[in-house]
Amino acid sequence: MTARRRIAALVVAGALVLLFVLGGLGWPAPPEDPADAQAIDTEPESLLGETVSITGTVTEVDPSRVAIEHRGGSVELVLVGDPADHIEPGQRVTASGTLIGERTLEVDRLDARNAWEYHYMYLISVVGVALAGVAAANRWRWSHRDRALVPRERSLLGGDHRG
């Protein structure tokens, strides 16, 4: 890697670290949805009547009660409204609605999933990463002479030699 490339890489890496920090600060706007769960836990009165989004695990039904984890711990919410009528304990729900009480959410939109569906998502994603990794290793190599990634003249798994 030439000195110029090394300096450029350092500058870009520095910019990326700055973005991590700015994102953590929520500047210029939060890169993620507002930390509703934490706000519900610590200052629910400030969110009364507001639309909030939550993700959590169903702990009880009748009434539907959901445990929501957040950075600082967890909080339980009671869900009311038609979309919350068909959830089951153990499911993971993502929902949004209006906070009508300090621990009560009137649900507008809700999606409930079983644990195995999350396991499927992670497993299939590992397969995706492995596929991309094999494709890259099959077609690219590190050249010590050039100190850079270069296309292989022949793929590891056979096939053409066009790089």
Partner 1 sequence: MADLLTHVLVAFVLATVLSWWLGSISPAMVAAAMVGAVLPDLNRLELVLPATTVEALLGLPWTWTVLHRLGGTLAVIVLVGLAVHRDQRTMVVGMLVLGAASHYLLDALLWQADGVVAPLGWPLIDWQPAFEGWYRSMDRWPAVVATVLVVAVAVADGNIIGRPSPSD
Token pair, residue 23, equals 């994102």
Token pair, residue 16, equals 């990326």
Distance CA 28, CA 31 (A): 9
| Minimum distance of partner 1 from residue 22's CB (angstroms) | 7
- Using the rule CB under 8 A, is 88 a contact of partner 1? no
Residue among 3, 25, 82, 144 that touches partner 1 (CB under 8 A): 25
- Using the rule CB under 8 A, is 138 a contact of partner 1? yes
Per-residue x/- marks for partner 1, 93-132, CB under 8 A? -xxx------------xxx-x---xx-xx--xxxxxx-xx
Token pair, residue 123, equals 């497993």
- Using the rule CB under 8 A, is 73 a contact of partner 1? no
Number of residues that bind partner 1 (CB under 8 A): 65
Token pair, residue 104, equals 């009560």
Distance CA 36, CA 16 (A): 26
Distance CA 11, CA 14 (A): 5
Residue among 38, 55, 57, 104 that touches partner 1 (CB under 8 A): 55
Q: Which stretch binds partner 1 (CB under 8 A): 29-37, 41-49, 61-69, 98-106?
A: 29-37
- Using the rule CB under 8 A, is 54 a contact of partner 1? yes
Residue corresponding to tokens 């000195």:
3
CA neighbor of 56 nearest in space, from 48, 44, 64:
64
Q: What phi, psi does 107 have (nearest 5°)?
A: -85, 130
CA neighbor of 54 nearest in space, from 41, 45, 63:
41
Residues at the contact surface with partner 1, assessed by CB under 8 A: 1, 5, 8-9, 12-13, 15-16, 19-25, 28-33, 51, 53-55, 71, 94-96, 109-111, 113, 117-118, 120-121, 124-129, 131-132, 135-136, 138-140, 143, 146, 148-152, 155, 157-163
